[in-house]
Every structure is written in C-alpha cells, then in structure tokens.
C-alpha cells in the first residue's frame, strides 16, 4: 500500500480555549532548555479517545459508519480537567498531561465502545486500560537534559469544565515543526 493511500488517524474531543491559558500558566512552572521539550500547539490540544494509526483512505467511510451508531447514540455529558501528571514516571518524563475528573468512567466506557466498534475493521482494542488525559507537552528522548517537573506536578489550578458533546475523526500529517490536524468527520452526541 502506498503512503498516499494511508492516513494517520485518531478520535478526539476538542477542548475549550481556556486550556491554552492553563497551558501557558503551567509552562511557567518549568525551567527549560531549548529543544528538549515540545509543547502541543494551542489549536491542537485535545482529549484523544483512540489513536487508530495508519489507516487506509478507503476504510474511512466504514470507520464513520461503525462509529456513528456508538457515538451518535451516546448522551452528551460534562467533565473537568484537574491535576497534572506525566508518563511514564517523574524521574524520566516523556509526556506532561492534564488529568480528567468527573465522569471519567463515562469517558472510559465510551473509549471501550469505540474499541468494540472498530475491532471488526482491523483496529484492535488497546492492551492497557484507557486513561483519559490531555497531553500538553512531550520531552524528546534520549534527553540532553531532563527538566525538573516537580513544580509542574504540584501546581494546583481551578478545575476546568468541558462539554463532551462532539467527537472528531481526525487525520494528522507529521512535519518537522509538528503535526497538522484535519477533521475528517464530526460526530455529535445526543443532547
């Protein structure tokens, strides 16, 4: 299969613009050295429900059909961003994230439903339990320097509510200065 027939796809929930202000505030908690840590661009901050990966273009209509029944029959709900964290561990962070609280179990159940809907199309379920989070930054490895993220992890902020009422099937093109996202389809949850 040629590269132009493949898309790099994922399912995402877009977040309110106030997340950008929160990211800006959290940036100030880190002592950084250039080139070691890459912040997610403000317009690209989202909650990923599922990363599909390389996806043949011709399967996009089947993916949309499989997800339509799951997503469009789900009731919209509110959640909140609260807390900070990192993967895999504070001594060797690779991803800095915002936590998701309130209705976390509903988001996890929705992700499981998405997994079940896409499995017949060749997209296997995740091996590890889905952990809802919002990636703010990635640290390159091997690092020239590992930032001290202690203050980032201790930062307290007012929980930020968001509505989960729309899910986007997105494509991502990778470029040297970061990915460019495009929406392939929007699913609207039940009011």
86-127 tens-digit pLDDT: 999 888 888 999 999 999 999 999 999 999 999 999 999 988
99's torsion region: left (phi>0), alpha (psi -120 to 50) or beta? beta
130-155 tens-digit pLDDT: 999 999 998 877 666 677 788 889 98
Number of structural domains the chain divides into: 1
pTM: predicted TM-score of the whole model, two decimal places: 0.88
Q: Report the pLDDT value the prediction gives residue 2, as an integer from 0 to 100.
A: 44
Residue 47 contacts residue 104 (beta carbons within 8 Å): no
Q: Which domain holds residue 93?
A: 3-188
Q: Tell me the C-alpha distance between 185 and 11, whole Å.
A: 10
Phi, psi of 155 (to 5 degrees): -65, 130
Classify residue 41 by burial, with Cβ atoms within 10 Å: 0-12, 13-18, 19+.
middle
CATH code, 155: 3.90.1140.10
């Amino acid at each position: 299969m040629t590269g132009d027939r493949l898309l790099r796809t994922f399912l995402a929930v877009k977040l309110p613009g106030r997340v950008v202000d929160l990211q800006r505030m959290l940036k100030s908690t880190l002592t950084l050295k250039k080139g070691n840590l890459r912040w997610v661009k403000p317009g690209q901050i989202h909650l990923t429900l599922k990363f599909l990966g390389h996806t043949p273009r011709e399967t996009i209509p089947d993916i949309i059909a499989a997800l339509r029944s799951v997503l469009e029959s789900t009731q919209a709900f509110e959640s909140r961003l609260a807390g900070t964290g990192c993967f895999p561990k504070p001594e060797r962070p690779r991803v800095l994230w915002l936590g998701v609280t309130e209705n976390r179990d509903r988001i996890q159940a929705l992700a499981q439903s998405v997994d079940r809907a896409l499995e017949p199309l060749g997209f296997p379920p995740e091996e590890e339990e889905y952990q809802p989070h919002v990636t703010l930054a990635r640290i390159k490895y091997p690092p020239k320097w590992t930032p001290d993220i202690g203050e980032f992890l201790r930062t307290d902020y007012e929980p930020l509510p968001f509505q989960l009422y729309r899910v986007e099937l997105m494509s991502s093109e990778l470029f040297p200065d970061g990915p460019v996202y495009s929406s392939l389809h929007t699913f609207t949850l039940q009011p």
